[in-house]
A and B are shown apart, each in its own frame.
With several copies, the nearest count.
Chain A
Amino acid sequence: MRHLAFFISEALIGIKRSALMMFIAVVTIMVTLLVFGLFLLMSANVNNLAQFISSKLEVRVFLNETITRRDIEDFQIKIAQMPHVKSVIFVDKKDAWALFKGSFSNMTLSDLVSENPLPHALKVVLSNNEYIKDVAMQISTHKEYSSDVAYGGVIAERMSAFSAWLSFVGVVLVVFLTVATLFIIVNTIRLTVINRQDEIEIMSLVGATPGFISGPFIIEGLLLGGGSSFISMVLLRFFYDFFARRFQEALPYFPLVFQSSVLNEIYFFVFLLGAILGVLGAYISISKLLKETV
């Protein structure tokens, strides 16, 4: 406890007496974490978009005109028991036709086709759209209920593949960015510590143990990393709130991430990363230097 107080006071002296260097380090770390946080926010949104795209995919089973309500219910249960199926919903042909006409309002389809050409249908939503084709195939074997199963065909497959890739790219980028952030922050801290190599040697010469020398530097790393990341957290939050609101106003249908649970997780992660990397950077540099000085 005594030591901790000493470490903190020494760390504060160190920061105060090397103000310019510390300022430069703080700006660097802050900017790095800002980029990182931005990437995280983007990636969360990309992921969200991927899920959104994916959630729009479904298998539509057009039912034979001849079957009864009982048959339909049986069929619904059968489908629901298939693997990867999340839900099976009955769509009345009247509703379907109204919707269809609505979404092609510009084409005067109703003039061309006066009678409702659509049959009743089932809307099948999957838990994992990768299997959309397989499920569609399996359903289409039940010729007794349905002779026509649609799953969006090529488009659906593309959408599903694209959304999978989006998620993958997101993960790759986040991993890469994390590594990059790690390098930049750790290196920045290392440069500030190398700068005081002489001091470290002197401390060791007057009888300070490695732990005693490291303590203040590690606290300093924590303050530097934590302080910088706190600033970037606040800026990030402000920036996203501002920017996302504009974006949403312009594109209200776009599925932006607004859940504060997800966002707060990102903000907190940025803060935590800064603090941890600050400590890690200080620890790595100080250990290396201590090994070099006898």
Chain B
Amino acid sequence: MIRIKNVRKEYASGLVALDGVDFRIQKNEFVYLVGASGAGKSTLLRLMFRSEHPTEGEIFIDNFSLNNLKEKQVPYLRRSIGFVFQDFKLLPKRTVYENVAFALRFYNYSRSRIRRQVSQVLELVNLSSKMHHLPSQLSGGEQQRICIARAIVNNPPILLADEPTGSLDPDTSWEIMQLLSKINARQTTVIVATHNKGIVDDIRKRVVALEKGKIIRDQQLGAYDA
């Protein structure tokens, strides 16, 4: 369970990206985060991932406040959260395989288990054939799919996806969203920040809409527009 409690985020530049944001996400829920460009979606996701700190308010994950999280524990938090970054954040000098495998290196998995898991997930996003390419040798959509593969490779209990279909054509987008739904059905809380009206309207789920850093709508089985 994720609890966002009265969160305000003001960046060093003075810009207020989030203000009075307060809501809960149940275990195994699937939530769309929508809102115009600059509304604060990515900021909110980053706060849950603890790559930003709230200026005010608190965020609880499984009743544990991130404010009380020690610096040393942050990596372990992050291992339990899959994150699809809006700007991919792939290691530029590692191959597709190495990028995805990186997230499994922390565990004492055998070499063959790592190979199996990575191959499976690359199959899921349709990139098995590009396994030994560097990110710079891939198309935009392919890079995005590696990022998705990396986020889900170890079946994390929480998945945060920031615009995961921004570089994908409608068919591939559809497949990826089906994949996320399937993952959600297997006991993973999924939060997707997206602009993809088609998807939100077709695969109906809870919709949280942001506008200028404030929640303006929170609707079960909502559509993209109010």
User: In the assembly, what is the distance between CA of A199 and CA of B74, in Å?
Assistant: 18
Q: Of the listed stretches A11-19, A56-64, A104-112, A118-126, name the one at the interface; the rest are far from the partner chain.
A: A11-19
Would you call A206 and B93 a contact (CB within 8 A)? no
> From residue A40, how far is it (CB to closest CB) to chain B in Å?
37
Q: Of the listed stretches B76-84, B116-124, B172-180, B196-204, name the one at the interface; the rest are far from the partner chain.
A: B76-84
Quick one: which of B94-139 are within 8 Å of A by CB? 94, 98, 102-103, 105-106, 108
User: In the assembly, what is the distance between CA of A208 and CA of B107, in Å?
Assistant: 11
- Knowing A17-B93, A203-B91, say if A6 contacts B83 (CB, 8 Å): no
Quick one: which of B47-86 are within 8 Å of A by CB? 49-53, 72, 74-76, 78-79, 83, 85
Q: How many residues of B are in contact with the other chain, CB < 8 A?
A: 26
Would you call A199 and B79 a contact (CB within 8 A)? no
- Name A207's contact: one of B53, B78, B91, B92 (CB within 8 Å): B78
Chain B residues positioned under 8 Å from A206 (CB to CB): 78, 83, 102-103, 150
User: In the assembly, what is the distance between CA of A222 and CA of B74, in Å?
Assistant: 28
Q: How many residues of A are in contact with the other chain, CB < 8 A?
A: 20
User: In the assembly, what is the distance between CA of A209 and CA of B75, in Å?
Assistant: 5
Provide the main secondary structure of the chain A interface. helix
| B217 interface contact, C-beta 8 A | no
Quick one: which of A151-189 are within 8 Å of B by CB? none
| B146 interface contact, C-beta 8 A | no
Chain A residue nearest in CB terms to B154: A207
- Name B75's contact: one of A14, A199, A202, A208 (CB within 8 Å): A208
> From residue B170, how far is it (CB to closest CB) to chain A in Å?
29
| A250 interface contact, C-beta 8 A | no
Quick one: which of A178-222 are within 8 Å of B by CB? 198-199, 201-210, 212
List 30 contacting pairs A-B, 8 Å CB cutoff, sorted by A: A2-B108, A6-B105, A13-B93, A13-B94, A14-B93, A17-B93, A198-B92, A199-B92, A199-B93, A201-B89, A202-B90, A203-B91, A205-B51, A205-B83, A206-B78, A206-B83, A206-B102, A206-B150, A207-B76, A207-B78, A207-B103, A207-B106, A208-B75, A208-B102, A208-B105, A212-B75, A212-B105, A294-B52, A294-B53, A294-B74
